[in-house]
Amino acid sequence: MKALIADDEPLLAAHLKARLAELWPQLDIAGVAANGIEARDMFEVLRPDIAFLDIRMPGLSGLEVVQALSPEARKRCRVVFVTAYDEFAVQAFEREAVDYLLKPVADDRLRVAIERLQRASPGSAATQSDDLLLRLQALLPKPAEHLRWVRASVGNEVRLVATDEICYFQATDKYTAVFTRDAELLIRIPVKELLEQLDPEQFWQVHRGTLVNVRQIVAARHDALGRVTLKLKDRPEAVAVSRGHAHLFRQM
């Protein structure tokens, strides 16, 4: 029986993989995905029987990964959702579902999930997942309206810049620099505040002070020391990725 783990936090993914190896040695952990898009693609290749999906991941959430699967894949695969945030949802499901775990996953809770996974037939997976999806979607906060424009001062003018035209944001001493294809502008909104307002599927944090438009990324370059830099479609300079975010580009 094959399993897939998807989590954008590598240490927690490694922890879950190690605990599964200890508690369920017969289970083959066929792959570990670092984000939702990678998880969706690995589903097609690995065809796992069981998937442990983080709910909040860059690219696609765990819920969206399941929704993107073919009917055949959803029928075949039993899904366990994992989260570090939505404790209210965890409490709601504690009484009736084992396929929803709080990170870091505790051994006693994981044992219960394993026992129920082993009892569940593959044919019941689709119904179980569909039902869980509906209940989770009802409990989780509705998606926020994302920032589509930023206002940047240029001399005596205020320029409106569509976020689709922005290659990346980078924090400076007092402002945030906005890099478009043809210009470098300054805005007063801190990167931390932007991160909360931008579409997480479009902008990824790749460094403490840097948010990159995913659609701009052409390649990720890895040097001999393990450092990662990004090549963008419309900017000549390379954008540095911190070690803490390098896992986002492990497969590139």
Q: Which residues pair with 203 in a beta bridge?
A: 213
> Alpha helices of 95-172 — where are they, by DSSP H?
107-119, 125-139
pLDDT at 241: 93
DSSP reduced 3-state for 212: strand
Q: What angle do CA 99, 102, 108 make, to 5 degrees?
A: 75
- Note the pLDDT tens digit of each residue in 135-149: 665 555 555 578 889
Q: In the block, which residue shows the tokens 């989590």?
A: 7
Q: In the block, which residue shows the tokens 């998880």?
A: 39
DSSP reduced 3-state for 223: coil
97: Cβ contacts below 8 Å, ≥ 6 apart: 132
pLDDT at 92: 42
For the chain, the distance separating the N- and C-terminal CA atoms, rounded to the nearest angstrom, is 28
C-alpha 27, offset from chain centre? 24
- Name residues of the chain where pLDDT drops below 50: 88, 91-92, 94-98, 125-126
Under CATH, domain 2-139 is a member of which superfamily? Answer: Response regulator (3.40.50.2300)
The domain locations on the chain are 2-139, 149-248
Is this structure's pTM higher than 0.75?
Answer: no
**How do beta strands 228-232 and 217-222 pair?**
antiparallel
DSSP 8-state assignment for residue 40: H
DSSP 8-state assignment for residue 194: H
Residue 228 has phi, psi (to 5 degrees) of: -120, 135
Q: Which two tokens stand for residue 196?
A: 């909360």
Q: What sign has the CA pseudo-torsion 97, 87, 74, 144?
A: positive
pLDDT at 132: 61
**What DSSP string runs through 48-108?**
-SEEEEESS-SSS-HHHHHHHS-HHHHHH-EEEEEESS-HHHHHHHHTT-SSEEESSPPHH
Topology of the domain comprising 149-248? OB fold (Dihydrolipoamide Acetyltransferase, E2P) (2.40.50)
- Note the pLDDT tens digit of each residue in 66-114: 888 888 887 888 888 887 665 545 544 544 444 678 766 788 888 988 9
Assess whether the previous peptide bond of 190 is cis (omega < 30° from 0): no
Tell me how far apart the alpha carbons of residues 77 and 177 are, in angstroms, rounded to a whole number: 45
